[in-house]
Structure 1
């Protein structure tokens, strides 16, 4: 019986150490377990937050695609009115046939007088009165007008559509990020001051509405600047090209490249085409938002909060547009549009399979050497102009191509995730 106490007494120091180590291990294990549980909970919250953020981001991109498509008709309609290719074609047909029966453009090449391009027709035509003015022109003048108007219209549509896609994506990602930050902040503030919360919500809604109103600038002013630049550049480059000129795909691509170079030299980063640069023009844009003026009613204190927040958004938008990253995105969108145009024209005019089982290299050889009259290409360009103007993001192949550009997706992610920009936005 006395053996165990004596054993404990002899090994008291060792037993104490073992018990201490065991207790420390137990508490350490408990602490470690609680920390692991805490970390796992934090990781779960982080994962859920990231998934929530990603879902909001993805929804934002879909909203931007839909919005750009919805605005496209407002952009395309005046361009079609300003460059009435169909009316010019009708007048050419009437001069040949004295009827309204449709005739292929190549069938209209019936006299030698169209082989010399006019160098003054376009500058003396008032596009707003095209229905009456074009009927007074000679066939040569009409061909020159048709040549320039057809090419200028499709180029203007590609540039303006690319800018619309870019600017809509920029706007909605700035506002989407702002909405996400406000939603997170409101979790801790909601219920503390209901009246203040309601005022903040009213301010936020109106700031968003006013900022979105600035798409008005491209839809009403910016496109005109681009069209004038495109028109003058097209006229210079195509001056010596006649409707009878035979063009290979490389020849036509070279002409488009020359026109684009002149346009890009004139426009730089397109800031002036996307946003007004002086206060009076900003006021003009805001005054165009009649719904905002009529619907938004609040206290002077609330109204005083709107302008600085709107200025912050506009400043960031301008900074982004002027950034090298934005320039590369806009170029990528424009390139996508022209690549699709040339691809469609290539499939329509330049791929000829001479035998049922022709091999690929033979097809390529035919495509590379084949030439087509400009008059035929103009007909294809006219069809492509209507394809670009389709106001449906799911069926418009140009919108689909631009919205799927990797550079645009990356740029949108950078905007949406930049939560540090001046904090207040």
Structure 2
């Protein structure tokens, strides 16, 4: 049988086999190409996600450092508003002058008595104790709320800017990294807008905190105004009084009121904090579209339900820590000199309808020690403590709140580890 006759007889079969092989080869090549593309896409997606994760983590770390850098300014402002140290010194000097006058009456001249009487007319010992009571409670409560708001607002700002920077980097990558004078000018202007936007935290630290102080002082006076420093309080009574203070406030529901200016004049004041450079292409006005877009987005996020849930969780963590520290110090056989703060409680605490540096810390601790030395002796009866003694513990917690060290400030650690905060930051950062 010749090859020609064999091909002639089986040509249809040979055509079919050849066609099948050709189709199989084409299909194999197509599938191989697609699988290669898919594999490359998966690797690229995994790499991009890892880059995004690293950038997000670095953004949160930068935010924590920024918060610690801003905390001393908050503490200094509150120390001026509620001068606990100054009142303590006045109270101690009054006590010392009185003791000297009673033990050495023969050696005290009439001029000394005149000076003492003049001092008495300025402010009595009872008035000083009332001032110390209100100032101590207001400083610590305001500092706790202030740390919550400062942490939340700084994390929000840096995540908004971090997301914009990430989107810009992706766009440049897709464009092949094209630069030039126009791109450099745009980058410089974006940096200037970001600088103005970040400076709005200064409004909270200088003016918004005054609103917060006024609200807290009103609540503290309503609840503790009639409670005398020598009054003995049981654990439940102290918890109820502090809960009533939190209940008077609506910081969570009105966070934007404390964090962002609403008046055009206030906005102009913040804008002047960044000096003009005299370049029309770089100078940013209050109505600059890019800046207004950032501020409007921030305001919308502050009023969102997720933001309120996040602030409620952070507030509960901070005041749960404060309540538990006072309970341990004065009702559960923990030495009064202990500065240990327990871990955040699992139980919720009242927090309204919705919910420093080493010098600052040392000042708070010195003040609380001075208060303790000047305070009437704490009650020895089980389960009761005098408010005057409790104020010393309140001062110690102010010192802990003022620590400008993210590893040592247990209040900052507690509010930063609230799950809702991490989730909120992730939503903001990935919303592009």
TM value normalised by structure 2: 0.80
What is the rounded CA distance, in whole Å, between the counterparts of 1:332 and 1:238 in structure 2? Answer: 26
1:37-70 deviations in Å (ceiling 9; x for gaps): 1111111111111110110010000001110110
Report if the CA contact (8 A) 2:192-2:284 is conserved.
no
Q: Structure 1 residue 345: deviation in Å?
A: 1.9
SS in 1 for 2:405: coil
Alpha-carbon distance in 2 for matches of 1:235, 1:20: 93
**Relative to structure 1, is the Cα distance of residues 14 and 235 closer, same or farther in structure 2, using a 3 angstrom cutoff?**
same
What residue in structure 2 maps to residue 226 of structure 1? 212
Q: Distance in 2 between matches of 1:316 and 1:29?
A: 51
Partner of 2:37: 38
Change (3 A) 1:405 1:34: same
In 2 relative to 1, CA 312–260 (structure 1 residues): closer, same or farther, beyond 3 Å? same
Q: Please say if 1:282 is aligned against 2:267.
A: yes
- Check conservation: 2:136, 2:391, Cα contact below 8 A: yes
Q: Secondary structure at the match of 1:346?
A: helix
The answer for unaligned runs of 5 or more in structure 2 is 101-117, 335-381
Matches within 5 A, 1:14-93: 14-93=13-92
In the TM superposition, what is the alpha-carbon distance from 1:209 to its structure 2 partner? Answer: 0.4
Matched pairs, number? 368
Superposed CA offset, 1:275-298 (max 9, x none) = 1112221111011223xx2xx353
User: Matched residues in 2 for 1:149 and 1:134: separation?
Assistant: 20
Q: How far apart are the structure 2 equivalents of 1:240 and 1:304?
A: 50
Equivalence for 1:347: 328
1:413 aligns with 426
> Match of 2:247?
261
CA drift of 1:7 comes to 4.5
* Counterparts of residues 24-423 of structure 1 (less than 5 Å): 24-98=23-97, 136-189=122-175, 192=178, 194-264=180-250, 268-290=253-275, 293=276, 296-300=277-281, 307-352=288-333, 370-419=383-432
CA contact (8 A) 1:74 1:219 kept: yes
Secondary structure of the structure 2 residue equivalent to 1:98: helix
Give me the whole-angstrom Cα distance separating, in 1, the residues matched to 2:407 and 2:213. Answer: 26
In structure 2, how many angstroms separate the alpha carbons of the residues matched to 1:134 and 1:208? 54
Corresponding residue of 1:111: none
Q: In the alignment, is the contact (CA less than 8 A) between 1:203 and 1:305 conserved in 2?
A: no
Give unpaired runs (5+ residues) of structure 1.
102-131, 354-368, 420-425
Distance 1:13 1:190 in 2: 54
Distance 1:319 1:180, change over 3 A: same
Distance 1:134 1:84, change over 3 A: farther
CA distance in 1, matches of 2:63, 2:282: 32
1:100 is displaced (CA, Å) by 11
Q: CA shift at 1:392, angstroms?
A: 1.6
Structure-1 separation of matches of 2:45 and 2:325: 46
Does structure 2 conserve the Cα–Cα contact (< 8 Å) formed by 1:93 and 1:100? no
SS at match of 1:240: coil
Q: Work out the CA distance in 2 between the residues paired with 1:396 and 1:79.
A: 18
Judge conservation of contact 1:247–1:374 (CA < 8 Å) in 2: yes
Sort the Cα spacing of 1:304 and 1:162 in 2 relative to 1 into closer, same or farther, 3 A: closer
Q: Deviations over 1:181-219 (max 9, x none)?
A: 111112244665611111101111101101001011100
1:269 deviates by 2.3
Q: Report if aligned partners of 2:144, 2:319 keep a CA contact under 8 Å in 1.
A: yes
1:227 and 1:251 map into 2 onto residues whose CA distance is 24
What RMSD, in angstroms, separates the aligned Cα atoms of the two structures?
2.5
Output one character per residue of 1:241-271: Cα deviation in whole Å (capped at 9) or x when no partner.
222222233321211111111111x773221
Q: Distance in 2 between matches of 1:236 and 1:223?
A: 20
- Where 1:242 maps in the other structure, the secondary structure is coil
**Which shows bigger deviation, 135-144 or 399-408?**
135-144
CA deviation string 1:61-88 (max 9, x = no partner): 0001110110001111110121112222
Counterpart contact for 1:152–1:230, Cα < 8 Å: yes
Scaled by the length of structure 1, the TM-score of the pair is 0.81
Normalized per residue, which structure has more helix?
A: 1
Q: Determine the structure 1 residue equivalent to 2:351.
A: none
